[in-house]
């Protein structure tokens, strides 16, 4: 039990699991609820996403396999929607489609937090690959404890990427809600549901940051004990 050798470490791990699980339950519950409520307009997720990005030249909306696999790919400028969202006419489908279109608009408008997040992406990717192996080696081999500090530094880089992702995700959701309401794609009551679902989805990103911060605290506590 290399990283669970203190009561504080065990407690932090338990809290991390609870936070992540609560966020996942929240988004699953919200999606389950609003994916069953059809919208009065009869519009599909594909139609809404297509109308939002029409004229911008920043995205193509296409079908994507897999449940909840919706995303915007800035490299190909493609909005990929899962089957339930692409052809769905539910509050959840329109909310998710508008959210992904919101990401496309962020790139079109040059939204600064996106540039900031993309700037740290290469370092964050390296950090996510190397952090834990370096930390493990530092704990296993007493002559290489400096690897713990390097691993923690890489871990922080990956954490910063998660932090910079928060404003990107919240902004995409705000854009989605504003567009859905402003263009009457949803009724006020339906838009309220879309807002609740997108808020639940955003909380998974918040939970990821909280979990990473707790894990960082855990690592710092154990590393400090190791140096005594």
Choosing from 100, 169, 181, 190, the catalytic residue is 100
Phi-psi region of 28 (alpha: psi -120 to 50; beta: other; left: phi over 0): alpha
Per the CB < 8 A criterion, the answer to whether 179 and 104 are in contact is no
Backbone angles phi, psi at 106, to 5 degrees: -60, -45
Structure tokens at 64: 């994507």
Q: For residue 67, how many C-alpha atoms fall within 13 Å in the half-sphere facing its CB? A: 4
- CB-neighbour burial class of residue 26 (10 A; exposed 0-12, middle 13-18, buried 19+): middle
Question: Is position 169 annotated as part of the catalytic site?
Answer: no
Residues annotated as part of the active site: 100
């Amino acid at each position: 039990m290399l990283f669970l050798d203190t009561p504080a470490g065990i407690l932090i791990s338990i809290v991390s699991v609870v936070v992540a699980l609560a966020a996942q339950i929240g988004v699953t519950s919200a999606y389950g609820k609003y994916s069953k409520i059809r919208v009065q307009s009869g519009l599909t997720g594909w139609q809404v996403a297509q109308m939002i990005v029409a004229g911008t030249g920043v995205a193509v909306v296409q079908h994507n396999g897999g449940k909840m696999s919706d995303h915007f790919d800035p490299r190909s400028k493609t909005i990929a929607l899962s089957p339930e969202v692409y052809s769905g006419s539910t509050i959840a489908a329109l909310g998710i489609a508008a959210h992904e279109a919101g990401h496309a608009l962020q790139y079109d408008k040059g939204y600064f937090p996106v540039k900031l997040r993309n700037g740290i992406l290469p370092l964050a990717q390296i950090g996510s690959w190397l952090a834990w192996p370096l930390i493990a080696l530092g704990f296993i081999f007493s002559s290489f404890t400096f690897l713990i500090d390097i691993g923690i530094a890489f871990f922080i880089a990956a954490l910063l990427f998660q932090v910079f992702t928060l404003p990107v995700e919240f902004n995409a959701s705000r854009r989605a809600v504003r567009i859905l309401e402003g263009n009457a794609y949803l009724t006020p009551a339906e838009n309220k549901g879309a807002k609740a679902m997108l808020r639940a989805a955003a909380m998974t990103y918040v939970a990821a940051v909280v979990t990473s911060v707790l894990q960082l605290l855990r690592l710092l506590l154990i590393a400090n004990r190791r140096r005594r």
